[in-house]
C-alpha cells in the first residue's frame, strides 16, 4: 500500500527545508498513517473515518469541487504531483475500510498544469454526505456552502416489513426494520423485550456495523459500535428512550410493531401503553446524550442514568472521566449484573464541578462540561419548576467557585441590625486529622471588622449520622468587647465572605459557638485561595 507514496516522500525529503512544501504533504501523510493503523486494528475505525472526514472536508471546502457524481481536490505548485499521489494512496486505503455501498473510484489527472485527485461515482458524493453530517467539524458548523447541499439531500427512509412482525419459539416479539439513505440500506432487528424496545444490527463485518451506526445517527439516534466479548463480531443497538428521541418516521414504525403485538396478545397492554406514550410524544434528548433521570428524592437532586447495557454505562463513565470528573468523588458507577440495570449517578459535587468547568475549563473538557450542564438544565425544566430551581442553584454555585479573591476583599454587611465593615488581611486553609483520625478542614482568616483586627478560625468536619458538613468556631472571651462582640464580628466576617449569616449558640457554661453548614463552605469555595483545600477535603471525606 505504501509503495504508492515512495515518490512523494522522496521528493519531500529533498525539499524539507521549504515550509510550504512540508505543509502540502503533511495532511495526506497523516491521513495515510491513520487509515493504515485503522485497517490493522491499531486505531479506532470510527475515529479514523471521522478524522479523515474532517481533514478531507476542509480540503474540499478550501479548493475543491462537489458535483453530482464527482468530488475532486486541486493541488498546485511545486511537487504537486507527489502530493496528489499521496492523496490518492489515502483514498485507496480508505476504500478498504468502507462497506461496499460506499466504495468509490479514485484517479489522478492533470489539467492546465494543476493536479487533481478525484473521487468519482454516486458513492463518492454519498460518502462525503455521510461525513458531512456525522463528523463534528465537518457536520457541526459547515465549512462551506458546498456541505450545506450535502445535508439538504440527507433523508433517512424507514421501511417496516409488516409481515415480519412475529413471535419466536422462545416467546420473543421480533420484526424487521430497514433504514436507508441515498440507496444505502441496512436491515435491523426489532425486539420487544420484557423491559425495553431494542433496535439492533449485528455482524462480523465491522464496516457494515459502522454504516448501521451512521444511519442510526442520521435518524436521530445516539449509538456507538461495540464488540461482542472476544468474538470477531460487532453490534450497534438502541433501546426505548434513545429510540423515542429519533425521527418521527422511525417512532411511528416502532409504534406500529408495538400495537400489532398488543393486538395479537404478545405484549401486555399496560407495558405497551408506556412504550407508546414515549414513542408518540417523543423525548427531548440532547444529541449524543442518553436520557438521564433528573429529579428530587427527599429534597436532594438526583441525576442518574440507568441501563442494562454495560457498554452504555461504561460509555457514560468514560465521558465523565474525559470531562475531568473523578469516580467516587463526582460520580458513582454500578455495572449491570444478572440482567438488572446498572447506573451512572452524578453527585452534587460532580454537577457543581462540571458547571465550573463549563465556564473556566478549556478544550474538550470545557465543551463536554458545557453540553452536560445545558442538557441537565433542559431535563430539569421538563421535570418541573422545583427540580429546575434546585439544579440551577447547584450549577450557579459551581460556576461561582474560584471566581473571587480574598486578596483586597472589603465589604459591608448587616448583623443584628447593625452594619459592619469587613476587610480581609490574611488567610489559610489546611487539612488535619484529630486524635481519632477524623479528617478536618481548618479555614483561618485574619481580618479587620469595624477596625478591630482578629484571627478567625473555623473547623469543618463531617457529622457521623448523615456525613453532613458542619463548621464550628468558639468566640474568644479575651477579644475586645468579650465573647458577644467577638461572635458578632465573626458572624459579620462569615456573612461578608459567604453571603450567609451563621447560626450562633450560647451554651450554659457561657461559651458562644458559631456554626456553619454546607452552604457556607460552598461560599468559601468561591475564593481561589481556599478552593483547592476545600475540594481536597470534600474528596477525602465523601460527598453530601
Output the tens digit of pLDDT for each of the chain's 544 residues: 334 444 444 444 444 444 555 555 555 666 666 666 656 666 565 556 655 655 565 556 555 666 555 666 555 444 455 666 666 676 766 666 666 666 767 766 666 666 666 666 666 666 666 555 444 333 334 445 555 555 555 567 899 988 999 998 888 899 999 988 766 788 999 999 888 899 999 988 877 887 788 788 777 776 777 888 777 888 888 888 778 877 888 989 999 999 999 999 998 888 888 888 888 766 555 556 777 888 888 788 999 988 877 877 888 899 999 998 988 888 999 988 876 778 999 988 899 989 989 888 888 889 889 989 999 998 888 788 888 999 999 998 888 888 788 999 999 999 999 999 999 999 999 999 888 888 999 999 999 999 999 999 999 999 866 788 999 999 999 999 999 999 999 999 999 999 899 999 998 888 999 999 988 998 898 898 998 899 889 888 875 4
Task: Give the residue extent of every domain in the chain.
Answer: 2-152, 157-273, 293-400, 410-541
The most distant pair of C-alpha atoms in the chain lies apart, rounded to whole Å, by 100
Q: C-alpha distances in angstroms, 487 versus 406, 451, 477, 478, 481?
A: 21, 15, 10, 12, 10
- Whole-angstrom Cα distance, residue 257 to residue 251? 10
- Is there a contact between 471 and 460 (Cβ–Cβ < 8 Å)? yes
Helix axes 269-281, 248-263, angle to 10 degrees: 170
How are strands ordered across the β-sheet holding 300-307?
Answer: 293-297, 300-307, 342-346, 331-334
d(Cα 180, Cα 429) in Å, to the nearest integer?
A: 61
Q: Concatenate the DSSP letters of all residues of 260-307 into one string.
A: HHHHTTSS-HHHHHHHHHHHHH-----TT----EEEEETTEEEEEEEE
* Contact present, 157 and 250 (Cβ < 8 Å): no
As given in the structure block, the three cell numbers for residue 110 are: 492533470
Instruction: Quote the pTM value.
Output: 0.45
Rounded to whole angstroms, the Cα distance separating 451 from 491 reads 15
Give the chain's length.
544
The helix (run of H) or strand (run of E) holding residue 472 is: strand 469-474
Cα–chain-centroid distance for residue 366? 10
* Grid cell of 342 as nine digits: 446498572
Amino acid at each position: 500500500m505504501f509503495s504508492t507514496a515512495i515518490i512523494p516522500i522522496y521528493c519531500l525529503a529533498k525539499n524539507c527545508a521549504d515550509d510550504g512544501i512540508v505543509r502540502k504533504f503533511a495532511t495526506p501523510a497523516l491521513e495515510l498513517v491513520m487509515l493504515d493503523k485503522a485497517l490493522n486494528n491499531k486505531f479506532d475505525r470510527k475515529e479514523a473515518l471521522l478524522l479523515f472526514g474532517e481533514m478531507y472536508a476542509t480540503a474540499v471546502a478550501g479548493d475543491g469541487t462537489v458535483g453530482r457524481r464527482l468530488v475532486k481536490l486541486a493541488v498546485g505548485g511545486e511537487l504537486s504531483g507527489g502530493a496528489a499521489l499521496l492523496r490518492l494512496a489515502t483514498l485507496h486505503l480508505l476504500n478498504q475500510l468502507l462497506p461496499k455501498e460506499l466504495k468509490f473510484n479514485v484517479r489522478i489527472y492533470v489539467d492546465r498544469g494543476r493536479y487533481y485527485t478525484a473521487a468519482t461515482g454516486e458513492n463518492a458524493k454519498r460518502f462525503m454526505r455521510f461525513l458531512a453530517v456525522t463528523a463534528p467539524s465537518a457536520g457541526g458548523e459547515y465549512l462551506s456552502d458546498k456541505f450545506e447541499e450535502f445535508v439538504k439531500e440527507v433523508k433517512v427512509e424507514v421501511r417496516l416489513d409488516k409481515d415480519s412482525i412475529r413471535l419466536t419459539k422462545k416467546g420473543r416479539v421480533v420484526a424487521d426494520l430497514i433504514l436507508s439513505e441515498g440507496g444505502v440500506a441496512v436491515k435491523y432487528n426489532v425486539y420487544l423485550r420484557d423491559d425495553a424496545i431494542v433496535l439492533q444490527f449485528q455482524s462480523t463485518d465491522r464496516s457494515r456495523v459502522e454504516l448501521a451506526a451512521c444511519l442510526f445517527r442520521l435518524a436521530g439516534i445516539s449509538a456507538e459500535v461495540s464488540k461482542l466479548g472476544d468474538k470477531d463480531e460487532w453490534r450497534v443497538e438502541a433501546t426505548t428512550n434513545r429510540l423515542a428521541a429519533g425521527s418521527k418516521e422511525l417512532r411511528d414504525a416502532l409504534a406500529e410493531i408495538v400495537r400489532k403485538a398488543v393486538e395479537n396478545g404478545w405484549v401486555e397492554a399496560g407495558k405497551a401503553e408506556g412504550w407508546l406514550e414515549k414513542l408518540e410524544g417523543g423525548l427531548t434528548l440532547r444529541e449524543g446524550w442518553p436520557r438521564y433521570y433528573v429529579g428530587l428524592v427527599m429534597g436532594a437532586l438526583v441525576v442518574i442514568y440507568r441501563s442494562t447495557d454495560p457498554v452504555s454505562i461504561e460509555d457514560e463513565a468514560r465521558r465523565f472521566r474525559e470531562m475531568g470528573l473523578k469516580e467516587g468523588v463526582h460520580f458513582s458507577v454500578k455495572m449491570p449484573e444478572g440482567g438488572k440495570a446498572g447506573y451512572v449517578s452524578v453527585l452534587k459535587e460532580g454537577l457543581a464541578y462540571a458547571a465550573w468547568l463549563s465556564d473556566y475549563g478549556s478544550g474538550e473538557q470545557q465543551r463536554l462540561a458545557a453540553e452536560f450542564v445545558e442538557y441537565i438544565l433542559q431535563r430539569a425544566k421538563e421535570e418541573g419548576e422545583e427540580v429546575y430551581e434546585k439544579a440551577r442553584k447547584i450549577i450557579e454555585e459551581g460556576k461561582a467557585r474560584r471566581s473571587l479573591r480574598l486578596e483586597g476583599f472589603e465589604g459591608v454587611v448587616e448583623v443584628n441590625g447593625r452594619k459592619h465593615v469587613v476587610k480581609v488581611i490574611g488567610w489559610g486553609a489546611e487539612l488535619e486529622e484529630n486524635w481519632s483520625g477524623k479528617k478536618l478542614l481548618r479555614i483561618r482568616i485574619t481580618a479587620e471588622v469595624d477596625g478591630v483586627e482578629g484571627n478567625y478560625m473555623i473547623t469543618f468536619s463531617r457529622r457521623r449520622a448523615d456525613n453532613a458538613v458542619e463548621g464550628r468556631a468558639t468566640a474568644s472571651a479575651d477579644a475586645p468587647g468579650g465573647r458577644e462582640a467577638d461572635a458578632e464580628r465573626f458572624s459579620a466576617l462569615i456573612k461578608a465572605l459567604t453571603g450567609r449569616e451563621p447560626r450562633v449558640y450560647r451554651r450554659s457554661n457561657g461559651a458562644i459557638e458559631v456554626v456553619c453548614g454546607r452552604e457556607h463552605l460552598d461560599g468559601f469555595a468561591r475564593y481561589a485561595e481556599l478552593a483547592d483545600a476545600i475540594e481536597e477535603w470534600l474528596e477525602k471525606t465523601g460527598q453530601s
